[in-house]
Amino acid sequence: MKAHTEYLWFNTKRRKELVHITDSVEAAVEKSGVKEGFALVSAMHITAAVFVNDYEEGLWSDIMEWAEKVAPEKPDYRHHRTGETNADAHLKRLLLGHQVLLPITGGKLDLGPWEKVFYAEFDGQRRKRVIVKIMGE
Amino acid sequence: MKAHTEYLWFNTKRRKELVHITDSVEAAVEKSGVKEGFALVSAMHITAAVFVNDYEEGLWSDIMEWAEKVAPEKPDYRHHRTGETNADAHLKRLLLGHQVLLPITGGKLDLGPWEKVFYAEFDGQRRKRVIVKIMGE
Amino acid sequence: MKAHTEYLWFNTKRRKELVHITDSVEAAVEKSGVKEGFALVSAMHITAAVFVNDYEEGLWSDIMEWAEKVAPEKPDYRHHRTGETNADAHLKRLLLGHQVLLPITGGKLDLGPWEKVFYAEFDGQRRKRVIVKIMGE
């Protein structure tokens, strides 16, 4: 069994931003030498998400607007009594999910034709990490 | 380590439909010969979901209605400027989740007494796939 | 390859309650002897969730209130025609997710600085289980 671990770092310009990371994950799979296995991609900060969806800019706006509607920014979250202002970002991570597990077959990510991997930042403008952990043979 | 990969194909009659797939996943586990491991079940199309919940028809209606309420069909998504009409289906996949990882213990799916696996189609009436990838010993 | 399986049991005093379980999962990882691998933590009852988020009481209230707002308790779910009263709990499990996969690196859970693991009970006051399944080397 082989295991390979990498950390992807992000420091987005805007507070909320989507980053396309399929290529970085593919590169990690290649480095790992794993032919059959799983790649876990998981946001290590609790105000960010990771998901698999379409590479289409209009949809990216739809996703960010939808997340805002379902888990809105507002001042009166209890979490804000600690001095924080990002409770909505914690909820958005729960809504979209903070991790995906990608199958590896024949040494490649075994994704559907339009499946692309995204990092969703909801409280950025500082250095944050995603773990990519690959296991298999 | 053993790895086994299968693809389940769906072509639902209705645009939105739930399909119970626990038996298909069980059959894949048996074929794999894996006694201790994990089975990933992941929708390869970005307008479908996979989840684990109750085998109860009333609840299935509740789930579909709830998904419609939280991520409604409507004409004015930006994704629709591409000619698509299914932005809600992309959002519903994010809401319900597009994959589950099922534990295998003693050669069987190690699920709770009421845990059943479902494929949730939100833009069907065409051929679409789910990957079942099993790893273990 | 090593595999280790444990079941955590819960019987919460209140119907809806969050339980912090990072320490129990860490203990299972130590027992497993796995140095590089994955730990699956998955709620085996279909009215409970498992998620990774902040250890902060104000936020816990925010999460529970938010789940109530997005997937509210109400009498008229179709699932209730079976005599059940917990359809909202099934939906809350779907909203928050019923499982997480935790990376293990160097024999420890490889989590971000604020990542903690929680069991979210939405229909408690009875014995319910979470599986912790660890695989790796």
pLDDT digits (tens, 9 = 90+) for A46-71: 999 999 999 999 999 999 999 999 99
Amino acid identity of residue B120, one-letter, is: A
**Portion of chain B with pLDDT greater than 70, in percent:** 100
Cα B25 from Cα A26, distance rounded (Å): 27
pLDDT band at residue C91 using 50, 70 and 90 as cut-offs? very high
Q: Are C49 and C122 in contact (CB under 8 A)?
A: yes
Please judge whether A5 and C110 are an interchain contact, meaning their C-beta atoms are less than 8 angstroms apart.
yes
C116-136 pLDDT per residue, tens: 999 999 999 999 999 999 999
The CA angle B125-B131-B132, to the nearest 5 degrees, is 130
Q: Which residues of B touch C1 (CB under 8 A)?
A: 1, 136-137
Task: Name the token pair of A7.
Answer: 């950390």
Token digits of residue B54: 């109750």
The residues near B19 (Cβ < 8 Å, ≥ 6 apart) are: B10, B12, B118, B119, B120, B121
- Mean pLDDT computed over every residue of chain A: 98
Q: Which residues of chain A from 74 to 133 reach within 8 Å of chain B, CB to CB?
A: 95-97, 100-101, 103, 105, 110-115
Q: A19 pLDDT band (50/70/90 cuts)? A: very high
CA distances in angstroms from C101 to A92, A98, B40, B118, B125, listed in the order given:
19, 10, 11, 20, 33
For A52, the closest of B95, B98, B129 (CB atoms) is B98
C-alpha C42/C-alpha C7 separation (Å) is 10
Only one residue has tokens 């179709």, namely C78
B59 inside 8 A of chain A by CB: no
Q: Find all residues with CB under 8 Å of C97, minimum gap 6, and list them.
A: A94, A97, B97, C49, C50, C51
Mutate to test the interface with C, among A10, A78, A85, A128 (most CBs of C within 10 A): A78
Among candidates A99, A133, A131, which has minimal Cα distance to A10?
A131
Q: How are strands ordered across the β-sheet holding A99-105? A: A2-10, A128-136, A37-43, A99-105, A108-109
Verdict on whether the full-model pTM lies above 0.95: yes
Domain C2-74+86-136 = CATH 2.60.120.460: yes
**Predicted pLDDT of residue C102:** 98
Q: Report d(CA B18, CA B40) in Å as an integer.
A: 19
- Give the separation between CA B125 and CA B128, rounded to whole angstroms: 9
CB contacts of C54 in chain A (<8 Å) are 46, 79, 90
ipTM for the complex? 0.97
Q: What is the DSSP string of B55-93?
A: --HHHHHHHHHHHHHHS---TT-GGGGGT---HHHHHHH
Parse chain C into domains and list their residue ranges: 2-74+86-136
